[in-house]
Amino acid sequence: MITIHDNLFFLHGKDMSYIMKKDEAGYLYHLYYGKRLGQREYQIPVNYLRGFSAADINDKTVRDTPNNDVGWLPKDEQGKSLDEAPQEYPSYGRFDLRTPAIEIEYGDGNRITDLRYDSHEIISGKPELPGLPAAYGKENEAQTLRITLKDMVAKITVILSYTVYEQHNNICRNVRIQNQGKEAVILRRALSVNIDFAGGDRDVISFPGSWARERHTNRQRIHHGIQEFSCARGASGHQMNPFIIVCDTASNEDYGNCYGFSLVYSGNHSAIIEKDQYDITRAQMGIHPNTFAWELKPDDWFQTPECILAFSSQGLNSLSQSYHDFFREHFLHGYWSKRDRPILLNSWEASYFDYNEETLLTLAEKSKALGIEMLVMDDGWFGKRDDDHSSLGDWYANKKKLPGGLSRLAAKVNDLGLGFGLWMEPEMVSPDSELYRTHPDWAVQVPGRTPAITRWQYVLDLSRTEIQDYIIDAVSEVLSVPGISYLKWDMNRHMTDMPDSGYNHRYILGLYRVLEQLTRRFPKVLFESCSGGGGRMDPGILYYMPQTWISDNSDAIERLYIQEGTSYAYPLPCMTAHVSAVPNHQTGRITPLSIRGHVAQFGMFGYELNPDDLPESEKIEIVQQIETAKRLRTLMRSGDFYRIASPYAGNDCAWQVVSKDKRETVLLFARILSVPNPNVTTVKLKGLLPGENYHESGSQRIYGGDELMYMGIHIETGAQDYFSILKHLIVN
């Protein structure tokens, strides 16, 4: 997988290669990233001294430059210019005047760093990253290359780490930086990855959004200058997911070179694209540099978060599948990562804060009768909480609502044959709470200022070990109540009043420590993350909590956009999707129960409504939906996901999941608005066995695999808005 030839470093994955080269002066160049290449002597596609680009006068590897304007410089003073060459990890201030990947401020105020190759090593497997979530890989599955670069003047050591996997087209990259000097320095920028793509027109796809509108796909041409896709709100955020794709402008779902960048991080992040004067596209990702500064004392190390890259030469859908497989096989871990999840009913949209033991038990009974497997008690069970104005931090049962406490309720729900789970928001404190009255200094704040309020709550200072320990203890006490097997971990505000530029990173490290300890202590509890829906849907969080409530928007039509956008990086087992009541609470839209069920099947399925509010006919339909969900859940969790028709492109959406052995598939077709006198609608399926016959569940129809893929399946759309069908086909 990793080989080194003279000055060339070759990384090979299943179908891809990544090549670097160091020159005589020790500079590390990026030569190639793409479809698998053979091992040859490749040249650095550079580099003459160009006008207005600086060079190292000590570097004697001069080349003639027929077309440039440096004739006035004596030949032996011409050097190479890094300014036009694809770099591996560019630093600030000398020979490359584009956006750097690393920037360090020294005691005298200068920020110049000049990194040269020092050494390298190859390690079997994938090392862990201290304090940070990261992918894993056994010795026979993965290899890691570490290249050490040094600045001999500033005494800075940088270790670039690359892990490749025999069976995958992913590369995991991270960077470690050490100060070996005698004085403290300040890291101003320490990105996890930099790739310089030579020549060519490319697009960038990002995933911006807002509360209730998360991860909408946004594709734009990469133009000269800088484009940035970032979030500096203290969390990965609804506003911009830490994931981008750089792709050929001609690429589509099935065609073209595509490169994914997924940052394993839950704090401030940034993806920066710079197309330079020679049409090189520089793509970078890491901790948001503008909100970051980190003091490195002599001998101290700084470890960047990991960035998981993916490459596909066959378009966007296969890029997504490459991420889905990689996350499932080398990232998600723990008891639930490869298990079917319980079908749950969450009390939030059923009754918001207004419940008590009796109403919850009625809800549990009704749920059980429909086939639901778990009741989740959402916000409102603790302190004196009846609305969002109080009690975060007071994690003991409200005796008015739950007179027998958590233990009696959990036992009674369990006695009905249901699992029991609950909601907490452990990182927060309400000013109106016992916790805040006892520890007003525990809120993140700057001395002399009252912290800004959001949803009547402050953020607890997770950079402090004593506060991390308090959270670990408080959550442990709740989870130690017998019968609790699920926790929805929420985070309902962004961060303000951060005391310094290193704060957000310290907070995130504190959060990861808390989550590491709790998930180890309660390995069988199913943790679901949430942040006002999908405000913290990132790999850093998914490492600890295998599923996320990806949006507070439960409207089936809005979910088409949100789930499709989310699917570019994240597999279906990471997204929870619930059927809710109509008119929908976020949009006011009235959709049929059928489309709400069909869309929710393409996620970890559940409900967010009170069955008592439904007519009998809908309860019968729900029983059928749940039977379908139980039949499909292993397939949905483990199969290959295909985007066949996109709601972003028009009125129709078609998604498909195919089992790994290709013998089972499920298709969703949805038409958003009714089309009068419609054209014949045909959907061509993907990824099947052409020579096999597929039987449609619940019907006598048999289709050939070739027929389904090449001729397509004819869809009889009804004269109705929000039409949908779900087809389940099996070879037997």
Residues of this chain that interact with ligand GLA (CB under 6 A) are: 348, 378-379, 423, 490, 492, 530, 532-533, 549, 552
**Cα(91)–Cα(187) distance, integer angstroms:** 12
Nearest CB to ligand GLA, comparing residues 197 and 605: 605
How many separate helices (H) and strands (E) can be counted in the chain? 12, 38
Nearest CB to ligand GLA, comparing residues 105 and 552: 552
Distance between alpha carbon 266 and the CA centroid of its chain, in Å?
Answer: 9
The neighbour count for residue 441, using CB atoms within 10 Å, is: 10
Q: Which of 393, 630, 495, 518 is nearest to 529 (CA)?
A: 518
Residues 533/550, Cβ–Cβ less than 8 Å = yes
Nearest CB to ligand GLA, comparing residues 489 and 503: 489
Residues 343/360, Cβ–Cβ less than 8 Å = no
**Cα(415)–Cα(419) distance, integer angstroms:** 9
Nearest CB to ligand GLA, comparing residues 151 and 378: 378
What is the length of the chain?
732
> Minimum Å distance from CB 573 to ligand GLA?
19
The DSSP symbol for 613 reads G
Nearest CB to ligand GLA, comparing residues 210 and 277: 210
Burial tier of 91 (Cβ tally within 10 Å: 0-12, 13-18, 19+): buried
Q: Which residues are catalytic?
A: 490, 552
**Cα(460)–Cα(467) distance, integer angstroms:** 8
Q: How many CA atoms lie within 13 A of 629 on its CB side?
A: 32
> Minimum Å distance from CB 287 to ligand GLA?
26
Rg of the chain (C-alpha set): 27
> Minimum Å distance from CB 498 to ligand GLA?
22
Alpha helices in 572-675 (DSSP H): 593-601, 616-638
Nearest CB to ligand GLA, comparing residues 53 and 551: 551
Nearest CB to ligand GLA, comparing residues 380 and 510: 380
Helix (H, G, I), strand (E, B) or coil at 273: strand
Q: How many CA atoms lie within 13 A of 213 on its CB side?
A: 8
The DSSP symbol for 337 reads T
**Cα(9)–Cα(2) distance, integer angstroms:** 7
